[in-house]
Amino acid sequence: MTREAYHKALKELQNELLKMGEMVAKAIKDSVDALKTRDIDVSMEIIKNDLLINKKRFEIEEKCLLLIATQQPMAIDLRTIAAILSIITDLERMADHAEGIARINVMIGKEPLVKPLIDVPRMADKGLSMLSRCLKAFIDRDADSARTICNEDDEVDKLYEQTYGELVHLMIDNPKVIEGATYLIWVSHNLERIADRVTNIAERVVFMVTGKMEEINVSNY
């Protein structure tokens, strides 16, 4: 085995990506939990910590550029770095959606939610499960798993449609809940977008493994 320092740096880069993935997953999970438990402090914390995620993204980007500039990566290594550069953008945007949910919780403040959260946590769980398996597929270089994950986005889309429908009905029945229901539509829209971003990541995993750019599941939203 030659070029050990280079391959070690490449491996570290992948670990950094996993770390960023964990940070983002935690932000998503906490944002929905805080909404459920009406915990404003946790939401404020998520908003603050988003800066750390942004910082992490820039760190990883810089390391990618450094490896490209100094090591002239080729083939699978080049595709891995290209995939990482794309994935960190998606992760960073996912964290922004989590931050968005946290901000909504702060805006709702002390008001009670207009309906109990049932499908919203389901969307979050589904998105998080997709994300964690997607990052595993990245590490395992598993294109088949990545393709499967893309197709699971439809489940999240269905939950979004269901939530949206219910909330619209609530608003028609009682215009007083329009504001509160709109907040929850925003929340579910953020979660829907999070799952879409996971499919982007999955497409990058497929590209990394096969070298082919495939659009696997086009979202309806």
Q: Give residues in contact with other proteins (CB under 8 A).
A: 1-3, 6-7, 72-79, 210-212
Q: How far is the CB of 1 from other proteins (least distance, A)?
A: 6
Q: Which is nearer to other proteins, 52 or 76 (CB)?
A: 76
Q: Which is nearer to other proteins, 72 or 174 (CB)?
A: 72
Q: How far is the CB of 63 from other proteins (least distance, A)?
A: 18
Q: How far is the CB of 72 from other proteins (least distance, A)?
A: 5
What is the per-residue DSSP string for the chain? Answer: ---HHHHHHHHHHHHHHHHHHHHHHHHHHHHHHHHHHT-HHHHHHHHHHHHHHHHHHHHHHHHHHHHHHHH---HHHHHHHHHHHHHHHHHHHHHHHHHHHHHHHHHHTTSPPSS--SHHHHHHHHHHHHHHHHHHHHHHT-HHHHHHHHHHHHHHHHHHHHHHHHHHHHHHH-GGGHHHHHHHHHHHHHHHHHHHHHHHHHHHHHHHHHS----------
Q: How far is the CB of 74 from other proteins (least distance, A)?
A: 4
Q: Which is nearer to other proteins, 1 or 218 (CB)?
A: 1
Q: Which is nearer to other proteins, 79 or 189 (CB)?
A: 79
